[in-house]
Amino acid sequence: MREFFQNKVILVTGAAGSVGQELVRQILTFHPAEVRAVDNNETEIFFLGERHRGIPNLTPYLGDVRDAGKMENLCVGVDLVFHVAAFKHVGLSEYNPFDAIQTNILGVKNIIQAAQRQGVERVIFTSSDKAVNPTNVMGTTKLMGERLITAANIVNMGARQRFSSVRFGNVIGSRGSVLPIFVEQIRRGGPVTVTDPNMTRFFMTIQQAVHLVLKAAVLACGGEVFVTKMPVIRILDLARALIDLLAPVWGHDPEDIPITFTGARSGEKLYEELLTLEEMSRLLELPQMFVVLPSLRSFYGNISYSYPGQMEDSRLARPYISAQEPPMSLEAVKHFLLSQNLLEDFMAETHAAHRFPKSRRLWLVAENQAGLALAGREAP
């Protein structure tokens, strides 16, 4: 994968967000010719530049994907675009639907047209599980984004340009995820609010999500949607795991922190979907991802869809829905949180490290209070 990105000029939109920042960090390790990082958040794009100060091939830009002219200027001489910028909050998009359309749909249009005019070789669009059978404005805009990216390959007519999407579920620890909400509620001594005891979600870390986005860029043929394989966690188990691990850190007895159920929000699903029943008929399977081919294949007849490691028959016999996949056990959730350093990273990001003990203490709390079987693993 290093050879693919080496010496390329790469544009990352939404570079100041959780996924965007990690995407920039990982790309820089491949020694590209240049990384152009753009975001409309002045403060965060400034700090992104400061974190990578001294790296001459990173240039932070202040800009918005709604600005078609700016996007075209940024695409001049670019080999690859990762389009990450989006409105991601369901509630805010519902209250501000026209703003969501301008960013999540018209922003995608601007990126496609800029890339086409400037001859960008590949564009990778990051989508969401909420694009599958959407029940809200945000999910609908992400679905439309996928469709626009796929359709861009029709106009391409077999040229060297490729436009593809990557669809993944919840990125645990990212801004807006449930993890920081639960952590803060536990720090205060509770209660921890869970919408429904049966709610399940697909989860992966920011690092894992970005790795698969990068891999999809290498594999892309044009028009397909890559769907990441992800573990399932019950939200109630996530809350219980965090209480067991963190309550003692702040001097609380885990038994004293209550969990209250607030009920699912309007339009909120008890489960998430990554694949529909209809998509099963045009599905290929890779070791770490599924590949959904375009539905109107006659429009893309000049594209040959073939991938390294492709399985002859997909082992998935039903739609990819979190409620139908076996969830991680409570102990597995605890181990996942610890092994991925998710708790420490969150505390550092929220500038609360002075209230959070070092790694060794957290591992001791996990072993002594939660009874984790961590034999053979050394505390950092």
E strand intervals along 245-320: 259-261, 283-285, 289-292
Q: Considering the domain boundaries, does residue 176 fall inside one? A: no
> Dihedral, CA atoms, 363, 364, 370, 376, nearest 10 degrees?
60
Closest CA to 162 of 75, 227, 220: 220
Confidence (pLDDT) at 360: 44
Active site residues: 130
Q: Considering the domain boundaries, does residue 64 fall inside one? A: yes
What CATH number corresponds to the domain at position 164?
A: 3.40.50.720
Q: Considering the domain boundaries, does residue 240 fall inside one? A: no
Confidence (pLDDT) at 350: 40
- CB-count exposure of residue 78 (10 Å: 0-12, 13-18, 19+): buried
Instruction: Please give the tally of structural domains in the chain.
Output: 1
CA distance 285 to 227: 9
Q: Considering the domain boundaries, does residue 96 fall inside one? A: yes
CA distance 184 to 343: 11
Closest CA to 246 of 171, 172, 177, 347: 347
Greatest alpha-carbon span in the chain: 63
Per-residue pLDDT of the chain (380 residues; tens, 9 = 90+): 889 999 999 999 999 998 999 999 999 999 999 999 999 999 999 999 999 998 999 999 999 999 999 999 999 999 999 999 999 988 899 999 999 999 999 999 999 999 999 999 999 999 999 999 998 999 999 999 999 999 999 876 556 899 999 998 888 877 667 888 899 999 999 999 999 999 999 988 889 899 999 999 999 999 999 999 999 999 999 999 999 999 998 899 999 999 999 987 776 788 888 998 899 889 999 999 999 999 988 887 788 899 998 888 766 777 888 998 999 999 999 999 888 888 875 455 444 444 444 444 454 444 444 444 333 333 33
CA distance 24 to 3: 17
Q: Considering the domain boundaries, does residue 174 fall inside one? A: no
Q: Considering the domain boundaries, does residue 48 fall inside one? A: yes
| Sheet order of strands, 9-13 included | 58-62, 34-39, 9-13, 80-83, 122-128, 162-168, 225-228, 289-292, 283-285
Closest CA to 74 of 85, 87, 90, 88: 85
39 contacts 47 by C-beta, under 8 angstroms? no
Confidence (pLDDT) at 156: 65
Q: Considering the domain boundaries, does residue 258 fall inside one? A: no
Q: Considering the domain boundaries, does residue 208 fall inside one? A: yes
Tokens describing residue 81? 């675009």
Domain limits for position 138: 2-169+204-228+276-323
**The model's pTM:** 0.85
